[in-house]
A and B are shown apart, each in its own frame.
Chain A
Amino acid sequence: MRLADQLRFNWQVFSGHPLRTALLLLAVAIGVAAVIMLTSLGEGARRYIDAEFSSLGNRLIVVFPGRNETTGGAPPVYGNTARDLTLEDARALGRIPSIRGYAPIIAGTTPVSRGSRSREVITLGTNAGFFDVRQVTASQGRVFPARAETDALAICVLGDKLKQELFGNDWAVGEWVRIGDRRMRVIGVLEDKGESFGMDMSDIVLIPVKTAEQIFNTPGLFRVILELGEGADQDLAIERIYQVIRDRHEGEDDVTVVTQDSILAAFNNILTVLTLAIAAIGAISLVVAGILVMNISLISVSQRRGEIGLLKAIGASRRQVRELFLGESMLLMVLGIVLGAVFAYGVVYVVRGLYPAFPLMPPWWAVPSAALTALSAGLLFSWLPARRASNLDPVLAMRGIAE
């Protein structure tokens, strides 16, 4: 029997039972759509994390004080070491040829006030390099001068939200604010870049690192962010970082170096496992659809005994009868897969339009794996009905007698 003829025959069966066919298609399509949409969530989360890392700037290396070796996951908040990571250390690291820029960070929380308005915000002490390394610019005023690294200047750059809270629509640049117990002049306002890794960059205040040392009364840095130069070898750069630290820390490389790649890889691993897990949950609905197909096929075989007997009487072999019934299930599955995939992509498209910040997107393997699961379930669960049909005695079948 030619494939085109078999497909036509199967289609004629479907069109003879439109409601039954529609319900079966719906069951399969829902299963396929569930797999695609659920995996879209996982893949979307992965892409979101990727985008967040990209917003950090290209190829960053973060150096923490303390020797807790970390190759991924959340970085240690405070290093556990007897030796501080100092501003001099940061400068030495910045002199490594493969490092394009560096930003020493001292972090703390301080009240920032103007007049009667006051707000407790994250305060970062850093240098002019921070703006290049983190790829942030000032939407009003300017960023830190080079002297911000060496002098305890009484200047600050406000996050966009903080500026709104303190100044409303008034012009902030050139005005004074109180940070902790010091008065500082606002020299710039950061452009609004939203949240980055849980830190709302619009609700912070940046002050010179030397000023931060005095405010927080610490010579130790919270961390140093380094930016790799174009084409620089990351592994060699890390080796050089440890070497510089050993030279400066009496032979001890008592820092932890975390690369952007290692954090990203850890997140990717977690999210891939998560995506696979939710794909498996979605696949359960496909198995349920397969069982439904089996039930309906068994009923169909029972209802079409006369037809099966006739087909055998006019020359259909067992194999042909089996293939006709298997073909019905497979065609049903293929149509369900197409419908489910179209529906799922439609939903993804709409959701992406509504929430552009979350890059919802099915992973490349979502459709193939959903299709493979659906076809496998279809083949597995239609085998029994197809076998039953092919083994029917034609004489008894035409008389409508059950064997």
Chain B
Amino acid sequence: MIEMREVNKTYLMGGQPLQALKDLDLNVGPGEYLSVMGPSGSGKSTLLNMIGLLDRPDSGSYRLNDEPTEALSEEARAALRRDNIGFIFQAFHLVGRLSAFENVELPMVLAGVAPAERKRAVNGVLDQVGLLSRSHHRPNQLSGGQLQRVAIARAIVMKPRILLADEPTGNLDQQSGRDIVEVLENLNQEGITLIVVTHDMAMGKRARRRGQMVDGAIVSDDLQSSGAAHAPG
């Protein structure tokens, strides 16, 4: 599903090159639950952006669903991202002027899905994250945990095969964080590939497969070290 080979990415920070990813190899299969941990600046978010087709590698290859992604146009990458990948961010990134319902339906609006179908799907995922009764509330009328649930609903409304979560509990209290992890793990149980980038050791350890990043490389990976298959469930 996700195959990265010798991926490198270097940014210029204040005129100085900073290698965010260094000869990175990664294979993730369907339905896996992978957590990526590591110190700040180790390249976790860059890896997530690379997997989510928000960024391009300087060198190396990245195949998504057996399709090489390097040569794809921006339009094709946007379509691939929309149809296959859901993003969850630490800062939620909800549009303040839109209601919960409207925020969740945004990916479907961009995809040109008919209103009736959108309504059915959005109500379905809002129900799934326990926020159907709050569907007409604006972000400023919701708690942090509820905001992240709306963001999760938005990430899964297009039924993506991959869910990428960047510090999903970073802005939440402990109880809300636990609730969110539960929601994400339930989605993984349903077959969605879940990749979580986190500083939170407790959360990271809940993943069936755990990776550790240092200086742009994965220095430890349960799967690669054990060679075991990680099926969902």
Chain A residues engaging chain B, CB cutoff 8 angstroms: 1-2, 5, 9, 12-13, 15-16, 306-307, 309-320, 394-395, 398
A306 to B89 Cα, complex, angstroms: 12
A15-B97, A395-B54, A398-B93 known; A314 vs B82 contact (CB < 8 Å):
yes
Q: List 26 A-B residue pairs with CB atoms under 8 Å apart, sorted by A's residue number.
A: A1-B109, A1-B110, A1-B112, A2-B109, A5-B109, A5-B112, A13-B97, A16-B96, A16-B97, A307-B95, A310-B93, A313-B52, A313-B81, A314-B81, A314-B106, A314-B107, A314-B110, A314-B154, A315-B78, A317-B75, A318-B75, A319-B75, A320-B78, A395-B49, A395-B54, A398-B89
What residues on A are CB-neighbors of B79 within 8 Å? Answer: 315, 317
A-facing mask of B33-74, CB < 8 A → 1, else 0? Answer: 000000000000000010010110000000000000000001
CB pair A311 B54 closer than 8 Å: no
Contact residue among B55, B87, B96, B97 (Cβ-Cβ distance under 8 Å from A314): B87
Q: In the complex the two chains form, what is the Cα distance from A1 to B106 in whole Å?
A: 10
Residues of the A chain whose Cβ atoms lie less than 8 Å from the Cβ of B107: 314-315
Judge whether A315 and B75 touch: CB under 8 Å: no
Contact B109 A313 (CB under 8 A): no
**Neighbouring B residues of A16 by C-beta, 8 Å:** 96-97
Which of B75, B93, B96 is the most central at the interface, judged by chain A CB atoms within 10 Å of its CB? B93
Contact B87 A313 (CB under 8 A): yes
Residues of B within 8 A of A (CB): 49, 52, 54-55, 74-75, 78-79, 81-83, 87, 89, 91, 93, 95-98, 102, 106-107, 109-112, 154-155, 158
B contacts with A: majority SS: helix
CB distance from B223 to the nearest CB of A (A): 27
- List 9 extra interface pairs beyond A313-B52, A315-B78, CB under 8 A: A1-B109, A12-B97, A16-B97, A306-B93, A309-B93, A314-B106, A316-B110, A319-B75, A398-B91
How distant is B167 from chain A, measured CB to nearest CB, in Å? 13
Q: Which residues of A contact B110 (CB under 8 A)?
A: 1, 311, 314-316, 320
Q: Is the CB of A317 within 8 A of B74?
A: yes
| Chain A min CB distance to B214 (Å) | 21
A277 to B110, CA, bound (A): 45
Query: Main SS of chain A's interface residues?
Result: helix
> Smallest CB–CB gap between B50 and chain A, Å?
10
Residues on A with C-beta less than 8 A from B158 are 315
Interface centre among A9, A15, A314, A316 (most CB of B within 10 A): A314
Report whether B78 and A317 are in contact in the complex, using a CB–CB cutoff of 8 Å: yes
Q: Which of B75, B93, B98, B110 has the most CB of A within 10 A?
A: B110
Q: How far is the CB of B110 from chain A (nearest CB, A)?
A: 5
Chain B residues within 8 Å of A398, by CB: 89, 91, 93
Query: Is B75 a contact of A311 with CB atoms below 8 Å?
Result: no
Query: In the complex where A1-B109, A316-B110, A320-B110 touch, is A310 in contact with B95 (Cβ < 8 A)?
Result: yes
Q: Would A313 and B112 count as touching, CB distance under 8 A?
A: no
Closest to A15 in B: B97
B111: contacting residue among A13, A306, A309, A315, CB under 8 A: A315
Q: Which residues of A contact B55 (CB under 8 A)?
A: 395
Q: Which single member of A5, A316, A395 contacts B78 (CB below 8 Å)?
A: A316
In contact, A315 and B82 (Cβ under 8 angstroms): yes
Interface centre among B79, B87, B155 (most CB of A within 10 A): B87
Shortest distance in angstroms between B147's beta carbon and chain A's nearest beta carbon?
Answer: 13
**Other-chain contact of A311, B106, B111, B112 (Cβ < 8 Å):** B106
- Are A312 and B54 in touch, CB under 8 angstroms? yes
In the complex the two chains form, what is the Cα distance from A309 to B87 in whole Å? 12
Q: For B74, what are the chain A residues with a Cβ–Cβ distance below 8 Å? A: 317-318
Q: Which of the residues A2, A309, A315, A319 comes within 8 Å of B81, measured between beta carbons?
A: A315
Q: B212 CB to closest chain A CB, in angstroms? A: 23
